[in-house]
Structure 1
Amino acid sequence: MTFYDKARKTNGKIFAVAPMIDWTDTHCRVFHRQLTRRALLYTEMIVADAVIHGDRGRLLGYEPVEHPLALQLGGSDPSKLAEAVKIAADYGYDEINLNVGCPSDRVQSGTFGACLMRTPETVERAVAAMKAVSAVPVTVKCRIGVDDQDPQAVLPDFLARMAAAGADAIWVHARKAWLQGLSPKENRDVPPLDYELVHRLKRENPDLFLGINGGIQTIEAALAHLQVMDGVMLGRAAYNNATLLNEVDAAIYGEEERRPDWQAVCDAMMEHAARHIASGGRLIHVTRHMVGLFQGFAGARRYRQILSAEAARPGAGPEVIAAAFAAVDTQAGPKRAVG
């Protein structure tokens, strides 16, 4: 039984950290997993051609602690996507997700990402092909439309097609993507959010798992969306203020609320960093994802300074992480003003 099946059976909800290119690599995910045991984590988008022809161990490898973990694929050719799914099966991901939401020029030039909202029949064929060879859930992450499309007409049709193709879940970023005239960064903020449209479509499709993404900044806001939606996904809010992930297991999944064990987080990340350095990596590859921790704590500014400056020095080791954590007053907890 997949976690989507379990969620349906128990009327449970799913909290996810969004896939983010150049951000949600294995080091980021190992860090996030120290803060929440239950959140669904996603890889960066990996192009199907790269999976087929590239260094599979480097592209698809991850730490066992990262589960539950979804692989996000990019592509538009059903046969190539199916081949990538078959290759990924050996790596034991918990979900395969198809990117139909990224608006970058690089993605558009490959005829995948958000531009596929214009050709939903292509996405329908791709999802069906992926489902045919996958033993784990196949899901889609999309926008509500692109450019001059009318989301009121486009999104209901798109969701119906995904359901017909067998998609186990659809995660909807509740904004249009403007493929011409806005940068990827602007596409995360400028197009207005339309939560009500996504909420309405969930009410109209009670048997279809629908998650919502876009502009959600707090656990309180996530809980409000979960009054309607099956799942909620945070991206940059979770990355830039990782401390909020400590609230997920209790607030979303109903687990007993516990005081964070910051020493355990520190120790785990030091161990992970040591392994990465021993394999030829640099400390900064790990610590760059940790800077957003401790917003609002006394000593947070010094924590950020240590991770940003000291971890970048040649030969820097895991002891830099210990020094950064030692600068923070974790006993007092967060205060109102960011430190």
Structure 2
Amino acid sequence: MTMSAQSTAEEVQYTFTEKASHDIHTSKNVEQFCARFEMETKCHPSNLVDNILRPDQPRAIFVAGSISMGMATSISDIDFIVFVDSQDALLPGATSKKNSDSALTFSNDGDPLSIGHFIHLINGIEVDINIVLASKIEAITQRLKLPGPELSDGEVLTIGRLKKAWLISKSDGFLDHWDDFLSDYAFEVLCATRFYWMSLKMLEKARKAASMRDFPVALYLARISAECVYWSYFASRGFCALGTKWLKFVTVFDFNGDDNAKQLFTGKIPLVFPQYQMDVAALEQHFETIVGFQRSGRETIEKDLRFKIAFAVCPQIYPV
């Protein structure tokens, strides 16, 4: 598929490669994933990483994102996160290769976790490889043990994806305490409380905007407030990095067999698609519906005692 763009100097032609359909998304575990990935791409994930890292560097390879969370489709890209020990783990010139229509390489000095990001198009399948320093992840886990830890959005995204990632392979003696990381719920508690607090705060701002008759902003903030209840609930169930994919996740998540939770969270989706209203009374009724959702959502989250305690001791979270 091609598209032409006329400029004053010359005609520029852009070529887009359409993604290929694949069966990798049907994988239910890491063994199935590796077999299907190799069948579709004709290479094992380890081979891709070998082309990026020095051979003597210890590493751990994970598949993350929609594949491991069970919400991928036949055109989903494949996300790998690779742990390394050192900034020098990359092969010389690995991040300075010339980009092409089938491979992109870039690094971001502003990202404290990643030392390189590589995107490949293999048989029409997009494969993303993010190289992450293990020491930085360890530093975050230590910060989570302190009172009131602060994490950047990038750190939340990376840790959240790792929590649900599948371990493909790792070097001997590397990440020996990985199971401890997975079983520690400090990160989930942090995300759930932060998202719930955001829900309360956004609704306060929505009411303020409504009082100033700024109805579009009021509805927008109310929508965010409702979304944050979803984010808080899913974080309490271990899914902290859904981002904009949370709405799709509602349709595939089994709610751990809790029919009441399923009914609540599937039934309140209209709250994030409110009709435009220019009436303060109607808006206030909408706000009260969100308050009821906040209350029911909190009760559902607090079925897990860890989150009940966390919400109770968080000074920013008040009864609704």
TM-score for both structures, normalised by structure 2: 0.27
Rg larger for:
2
